[in-house]
Amino acid sequence: MGRVHAGMASHGTVWFAHEQTAGKGQRGKTWKTEPGKNIAMSLILQPEQLNASQQFYLIAAVALACFEFFSGYAGEETKIKWPNDLYWRDRKAGGVLIENVFHGKQWKWAVAGIGININQTGFDGSLQNPVSLKQITGKEFDTIDLAKELYSLLMKNVDEMNTNSAEQILANYNKHLYKLNKAVQLKKDDTIFETVITGVSPQGRLLTVDATDREFDFGEVEWVI
């Protein structure tokens, strides 16, 4: 982000961190990772064909690339948990945080921060349900080689998104959505309710149905089950 604000950014530039000491997650949370064990990377992107109202297409493109990468090793039990977490079964394997820069109404830059658990097997006790690729497969991986593979998938998806394939990106995101067409428990304010996940809208709202059709924005509800 410092490069962006200094006018030194270029589309597709990526940084890989062997160690991070202040990893950021969604809604002010921290992303904790053991040095040298995982993928922690930041990618500068220029969403050329999109406007500010289409931010979720970029989130979907990045999340889908992470899914495509991880499922290639961990298998079909890999899913995307709304809005942009990487899940295997009911355990979190990774996450994405995208920060944007606007000039007026023009969407100039995005910085996608990506963290994926690769070789780590011991996790902080405050983390609820982490899992790594090594725990799933029993194998040790070269994190640099995997990061290069992930980078190729990220750029492919972003380039497709920039060439009028954003709707297909969103369709594929929804196809691999965690708990799709299944009943879940969500919490809004102090109320816990059961509803069925039916997809995510182009605006990034979680779509569900129970007694009525519902839509939820980021941060409006919490997952319970």
How far is Cα 31 from Cα 115, in angstroms, rounded to an integer? 8
Mean pLDDT of all residues in 210-222: 94
- Nearest Cα to 91, choosing from 78, 110, 73? 78
The three-state secondary structure class of 75 is coil
Q: Which CATH superfamily is domain 2-175 in?
A: Bira Bifunctional Protein; Domain 2 (3.30.930.10)
Mean pLDDT of all residues in 206-221: 95
**What is the chain's alpha carbon radius of gyration, rounded to the nearest angstrom?**
17
**Can you name the residues that pair with 45 across neighbouring β-strands?**
110
pTM (2 decimals)? 0.93
How far is Cα 15 from Cα 145, in angstroms, rounded to an integer? 14
- Confidence grade of residue 212 (pLDDT, cut at 50, 70, 90): very high
- Average pLDDT for the chain: 92
**pLDDT tens digits, 59-89:** 999 999 999 999 999 999 999 999 999 999 9
Q: Concatenated DSSP letters for 36-50?
A: TTSEEEEEEE--TT-
Task: Give Cα 111 to chain centroid, integer Å.
Answer: 13
**pLDDT tens digits, 148-162:** 999 999 999 999 888
Do residues 51 and 162 lie in contact, with contact meaning Cβ atoms separated by under 8 Å?
Answer: no
Delimit the domains of the chain by residue range.
Answer: 2-175, 183-223
